[in-house]
Structure 1
Amino acid sequence: MLLIPCSPAPPARRRPLGRPKTPGRLKATALLASALSACLLAASAPVTPLGVGDRLFPYLGNPGYDVASYHVSLTYPGSNSKPLQAVTTIDAWTTTPLDRVNLDFTHGTVGSVEVDGEPAAFTSAGEDLVVTPEDPLPEGSWMRITVRHTSDPTPAQNRDGGWVRTADGLVMANQADVAHLVFPCNDHPSDKAMFTFQVTAPDDYIAVASGLPTGVERDGRLRTWTYRTQHPMATELAQVSIGRSSVLHRTGPHDLLLRDVVPNKDRRALEPWLKKTSGQIAWMEGKVGRYPFETYGLLMTDADTGFELETQTLSLFERDLFTRPAHPRWYVESIMVHELSHQWFGDSVSPRTWSDLWLSEGHATWYEALYAEEKAKRSLEARMKTAYRASDRWRATGGPPAAPRVPDPGQKISIFRPNVYDGAALVLYALRQEIGRLAFEQVERAWVSRYQDASATTEDFVSLASEISGRDLGGFFKAWLYEEKTPPMPGHPDWK
C-alpha cells in the first residue's frame, strides 16, 4: 500500500491442494505455537474470538488449521447499495484437534454453514464466525467448510477497506485486516492459500479477479466469470473488480500475459501509461529476477481511496493519479514501480507478521526511489539523506521500522507510517553501505528466490544477509530495526 499525498512531492513516508506448505508458514513458528493452547476448546467452553497472536492485530487470523484453498462465489446485483449473495468454500488441514473452528468474518449475514457436507452450528464472537461441526475434528484431518453468506459493499463503521465502491461498481482493498469484511477466511498473511473466484453480474458489467481467467458462462442477462490463481495468496492481497470496464491485453517480457482494467470512458487517455508496464517489469527483473506470477496488470478505478495497493497480479490505482496534472510524470512512474515491486516483496514473499511490514514497504520504496534515480535522475542518496534527518522523529511517532506502534483506535491502516516506507528504505541503504553493492544485490535476489510463495520474517532476512555477507549482522540490524534512535550511517559520518 502506498498513501498518496495531495501535493506532487514524493511521499515521506500477497499450494495446490495436498502440496506441503513452504517452510515459511506460521505453523512452524512460535507465533502459532503460543496461540494453539487457546484453540483446544471443550464443547461447553464459552465462544470467544481467537487470533494467531499478531502483536499489532491480536485477534486477526485463527490457530488450529492451515488453509489450502478458497473458492469464493459472488453474485453482484447491479447496485452498490445491496449486499452480494456469496458462497465461500474453504479447504484446510487441521493442525490440532478442534471442537470448533474460528473464521474471521464480519459485516455480512450468514445463512448456513456446512463442514464436510454436513450442517454445522455457528455463531459470532467479536469479528469471528465460530463453527461447531457435528463431530470433533482430529489433528491432521482434511476439512471443507462451506459458508453461505452475504457480502456487504456499504462502508463498515470505523473500518477502512474491504469493498470499495467506485463510480460504476466495486473493487477490493483488503489491506491490512479487512478481507474478512468481504468473505470468511483466515485473515492473516502467514496463512497463504490458492484462490478461485466465481463472479456473476449483469451482462453490462465486466468482472476481473486475481489470477487467470478459466471461462465465462452466460445465463440470460447474467454472465459468470471464473478466475484461478496459480500461486498462493494472502487474503489481504485478493482482488475482485466489478464494473463497466475495458480489459486491455498485451504481452510483457518472455511473453508474460499483461491485462489492464480501466473505466470505458478513460481507455484512450490511460493507454500511454499502461504501455509503460512491460518496460518496468523488465527493469525489476534486471534487479531481482524473473517476475513471480502468472500475469500482471493495473486496475485503474474511479474512486477516491487516498492510496494505491499491490493486490496480487492486479495492482489497484486511483485513476486520478494518472489524469491529475499536479503529479510530474517521473513521480507517477515511480509509484507504478512501487506497486509492481510489491509483487516480489510483499506478495510473493509475504510478511509473516504485520511487524514484518517494513520488508514489504521498505523494499517497494527502495525500488521506487532507485527507479526514479536511474530513469529521472532523482538522487537516491539525497532522498536517503533527507530520510535520515527525519528518521528519529519517525521512530518517535511510529516506532522503529521492525517494531511499529500499534494502530490508532479505529484507524487500522495507521500502521502505514513513514517509518515503514522511507524509514525502512533507509535501513536497506545502510545495509548496502555496510556490506557493499554486490553483496546487497545478492541478498535481494536470494530473498525473493528462497522465500517465493511463502511468508518470511525479519529474522529470516537478517539470517540471509549474514549468510551472504559472511558476517554476523545481528548487531547491525538490531540497531537499525529496533532502536529508538537512528544509528550512524555507514560511509556518511557527516549525516545528522
Structure 2
Amino acid sequence: MPFVRSPLSRARRLRSAAAVAATAALVAAAPPAPAPLGIGDPLFPHLGNPGYDVLAYAIDVAYPGVNTKPLSAVTRIDALATDDLERINLDFARGEVSAVTVDGRPAAYTSRGEDLVVTPAEPVGAGEPVRITVTHTSDPTGPAATGGWVRTGDGLAMANQADAAHRVFPSNDHPADKAYFTFRITAPSGFTAVANGLPAGRVRHGSTTTWTYRTRHPMATELAQISVGRSAVVRREGPHGLPLRDVVPAADRERLEPWLRRTPGHLEWMERQVGRYPFETYGVLVADAATGFELETQTLSLFERSLFTEPAYPEWYVDSVMVHELAHQWFGDSVSPRTWSDLWLNEGHASWYEALYAEEHAGPSLERRMKAAYAASDGWRAAGGPPAAPEPPSPGHKISLFRPVVYDGSALVLYALRREIGTEAFRRLERLWVARHRDGNATTADFVALAGRTAGRDLTGFLRGWLYGTKTPPMPGHPDWRSDPVRTAGNAPKRG
C-alpha cells in the first residue's frame, strides 16, 4: 500500500539541534552548486537521481477544458532516503514550479538542466522517510517528438516512454525506481478522466468532477497514464473475474466494439503462454491522435484510433499488435528493465508473443518472420548496435531508441534460444522469469543466468554473441540462413 509519512522523528530533532551548534562547520563545508544528476544509465546518463527510493506518488492535476493550456498540478512524493541528502534532485521539465515543501516545510528550489534541485530546510538523513510536495503546472504544448502529454482530438493522453514522464510531473524518472501511484484528475463535468489502476472515487464540485485512481502494484514512471476526453468507458469481465475497462472516443463506441471484445480471448491466450495476468485490471485506451506508435502503459494500453479504423490493416495484424501491448504487461511492466540497455527484454518478448499469436491466427509463420529478421539482423546491428547494447538515441528524438533490432532483432534471440534448449525448457524459462521478478526489475545478466539454470547448463557463451555481437551468430538448426550486413528493414514497427 502507499507509504504514509510518519511524524518528525526524535533523531531528526536531535540532529537539528546539533546542526545549530555546528553552524560554522556547516558553512565551511558548504555543498557544491546545484547541478543536474543521474544514476548513470548508459543510454540516459542524466535520467533518475541518486540518494533516495520513491515509495509512492500522489499526482493531482486540473484540466482546464482545452488541451492548449497548462494544467495546474500538485505532485506529492513519499520516499526513503538511501544517502544523507542536503539536496534532493527530481527530474522535471516543461512546467512552472510555484512552491516546494519537504515534510511540510518550505524548501528552496532551482532548475538545472532537466532537474528540479530542492534544498530542504534541514538535511535528510539516510534511512529517513521524506515527503516532497511540488506545486507546478504541466504544459501539454511541447514538441510531440519529446513525449509526455499527447494532445488528442478531444483532450489529452500520456506517452512517457522512454524519458518523458518528467515532462509531465516531477519524479525520479527511471524504471529502476518503481512506486505506487494515486491520481486525482479534475476536469469539466462533460469530460471523462481515467488513469492507471482501479477507480477509487468520483466527486462532483459544481461544474467540475474529480476522478481518483490507485495502482495496486508498483509502476515505472514511463508507464504512467492519464487521459481526459469525451470518452466512453466500456466494462466487461476477463479471465478469473478480472475487471476490464476500455476507454474510447464516445462517438466510436459501437464501431470499435468488435475489437474491444477480443481482449478476454487475448488474455486467455497469454495466460496459457506465461501464467496469470500480473495486475488488478486491464483495458485498451483508444486515442484520436497521430502518434506513430502504440504504448504499454500499465493496466491501460494506449492505441491510435487509426489502428482499428484503417481498412488496409489485416485482421490478424491488428489482433497481434493488441497482443504485443498486452504481452508487455508481463514483460516490461511487471518485470521492468534495470537499465535502458535491457530494453530488448521488453520489446523482444512482446514481439515474440505477437509473432506467435499471428502465426496461430492467419498471419505469417514464425519461421518466415524470423528468417526475414535474420537476413536483416547484421544491418540492424550495424545501424543501432546489438540487442543488449543498443547505441544511444539521437538527441531530441529519444524515441529513436526503439529500432528494429530491439523488436524482431531481439525476438530473434529468443527464437535462437528456444532452438538451442528446446520448446519445453523455453516455456519453463518464460514462466519462471515473470514469476520470480514480478513487480520488480531485472537485467540481461539475470535472464542469461536463469536460462542456464533452466536448461541445466551454462548458456553465457551461447547468448553472448546473440546479445552483444556485432555480427549475428549462426542460427541453430538453420545453417543455410544468411544475414546481409547492408540490408535494412526501414523504421521500427508501429508498436510500443
Q: TM-score by structure 1 length?
A: 0.92
Match in the other structure for 1:135? 122
How far is 1:197 from its partner? Answer: 0.2
Match in the other structure for 2:131? 144
Match in the other structure for 2:89? 102
Alignment pair present for 1:68 and 2:55: yes
Match in the other structure for 1:233? 219
1:17, 1:494 → 2: CA distance?
57
Match in the other structure for 2:419? 433
Greater CA deviation, 43-52 or 139-148?
Answer: 43-52
Q: Is the 8 A contact 1:102 1:128 kept in 2?
A: yes
Which secondary structure state, in structure 1, belongs to the residue aligned with residue 361 of structure 2? helix
1:316, 1:377 → 2: CA distance?
23
Q: Is the 8 A contact 2:94 2:142 kept in 1?
A: no
1:183, 1:49 → 2: CA distance?
17
Which secondary structure state, in structure 2, belongs to the residue aligned with residue 143 of structure 1? strand
Match in the other structure for 2:269? 283
1:128, 1:418 → 2: CA distance?
31
1:446, 1:453 → 2: CA distance?
14
How far is 1:46 from its partner? Answer: 1.2
CA displacement 1:67-91 (0-9 Å, x = unmatched) = 0000000000001111100000000
Match in the other structure for 1:321? 307
1:79, 1:167 → 2: CA distance?
10
Which secondary structure state, in structure 2, belongs to the residue aligned with residue 347 of structure 1? coil
Alignment pair present for 1:302 and 2:262: no
Alignment pair present for 1:111 and 2:101: no
Alignment pair present for 1:91 and 2:78: yes
Match in the other structure for 2:466? 480
Which secondary structure state, in structure 2, belongs to the residue aligned with residue 266 of structure 1? helix
Q: Is the 8 A contact 1:43 1:99 kept in 2?
A: no
2:3, 2:374 → 1: CA distance?
46
Alignment pair present for 1:419 and 2:422: no
How far is 1:17 from its partner? Answer: 2.7
How far is 1:203 from its partner? Answer: 0.2
Instruction: Please report the RMSD computed on the Cα atoms of aligned residues, expressed in angstroms.
Output: 1.3
The 5-angstrom pairing of residues 176-255 of structure 1 reads 176-255=162-241
2:255, 2:81 → 1: CA distance?
50
Q: Is the 8 A contact 2:31 2:86 kept in 1?
A: no
Q: Is the 8 A contact 1:190 1:455 kept in 2?
A: yes
How far is 1:43 from its partner? Answer: 4.0
- For residue 318 of structure 2, the aligned residue among 324, 329, 332 is 332
In structure 2, do the counterparts of structure 1 residues 322 and 377 end up closer, same or farther at CA, with 3 Å as the change threshold?
closer
**RCO higher in structure (CA 8 A, sep ≥6):** 1
2:184, 2:29 → 1: CA distance?
36
Q: Is the 8 A contact 1:62 1:104 kept in 2?
A: yes
Which secondary structure state, in structure 1, belongs to the residue aligned with residue 149 of structure 2? strand
2:371, 2:296 → 1: CA distance?
27
Which secondary structure state, in structure 2, belongs to the residue aligned with residue 376 of structure 1? coil
How far is 1:477 from its partner? Answer: 1.3
Match in the other structure for 1:52? 39
Alignment pair present for 1:455 and 2:441: yes
CA displacement 1:290-341 (0-9 Å, x = unmatched) = 0000000000010000000000000000001100111111000000000000
CA displacement 1:361-412 (0-9 Å, x = unmatched) = 0000000000001122520001000100000000000100000011112211
2:320, 2:112 → 1: CA distance?
43
Match in the other structure for 2:17? none
How far is 1:159 from its partner? Answer: 4.3
Alignment pair present for 1:164 and 2:150: yes
- For residue 113 of structure 2, the aligned residue among 112, 126, 142 is 126
Which secondary structure state, in structure 2, belongs to the residue aligned with residue 403 of structure 1? coil
1:42, 1:493 → 2: CA distance?
65
1:43, 1:305 → 2: CA distance?
47
1:52, 1:44 → 2: CA distance?
19
- For residue 260 of structure 1, the aligned residue among 246, 271, 290 is 246
1:374, 1:320 → 2: CA distance?
24
Q: Is the 8 A contact 2:393 2:401 kept in 1?
A: yes
Q: TM-score by structure 2 length?
A: 0.92
1:338, 1:44 → 2: CA distance?
47
Report the AA paired with residue 73 of structure 1: D
2:398, 2:419 → 1: CA distance?
34
Q: Is the 8 A contact 2:185 2:212 kept in 1?
A: yes
Q: Is the 8 A contact 2:139 2:168 kept in 1?
A: yes
How far is 1:44 from its partner? Answer: 3.7
- For residue 352 of structure 1, the aligned residue among 320, 338, 343 is 338
- For residue 347 of structure 2, the aligned residue among 348, 361, 364 is 361
2:276, 2:156 → 1: CA distance?
31
Q: Is the 8 A contact 1:42 1:99 kept in 2?
A: no
Match in the other structure for 2:20? none
1:58, 1:159 → 2: CA distance?
20
Unpaired runs of 5+ residues, structure 1, are: 1-14, 19-40
Report the AA paired with residue 451 of structure 1: H
Q: Is the 8 A contact 2:80 2:129 kept in 1?
A: yes
Q: Is the 8 A contact 2:100 2:108 kept in 1?
A: yes
Report the AA paired with residue 48 of structure 1: A
Match in the other structure for 1:79? 66
What is the aligned-residue identity percentage? 68
The 5-angstrom pairing of residues 13-52 of structure 1 reads 16-17=2-3, 43-52=30-39
Match in the other structure for 1:389? 375
Match in the other structure for 1:33? none
Report the AA paired with residue 433 of structure 2: W
Which secondary structure state, in structure 1, belongs to the residue aligned with residue 392 of structure 2? coil
2:363, 2:308 → 1: CA distance?
21
1:128, 1:409 → 2: CA distance?
17
Q: Is the 8 A contact 2:78 2:130 kept in 1?
A: yes
Alignment length (residue pairs): 460
2:73, 2:99 → 1: CA distance?
11
CA displacement 1:50-81 (0-9 Å, x = unmatched) = 00000000000000000000000000000111
Alignment pair present for 1:408 and 2:394: yes
How far is 1:16 from its partner? Answer: 4.2
CA displacement 1:224-266 (0-9 Å, x = unmatched) = 0000000000000000010000000000001100000000110
2:241, 2:145 → 1: CA distance?
40
Match in the other structure for 2:19? none
Match in the other structure for 2:21? none
Report the AA paired with residue 95 of structure 2: G
How far is 1:42 from its partner? Answer: 6.0
Post-superposition, which runs of at least 4 consecutive aligned residues in structure 1 deviate over 3 A?
41-44
- For residue 278 of structure 2, the aligned residue among 277, 292, 300 is 292
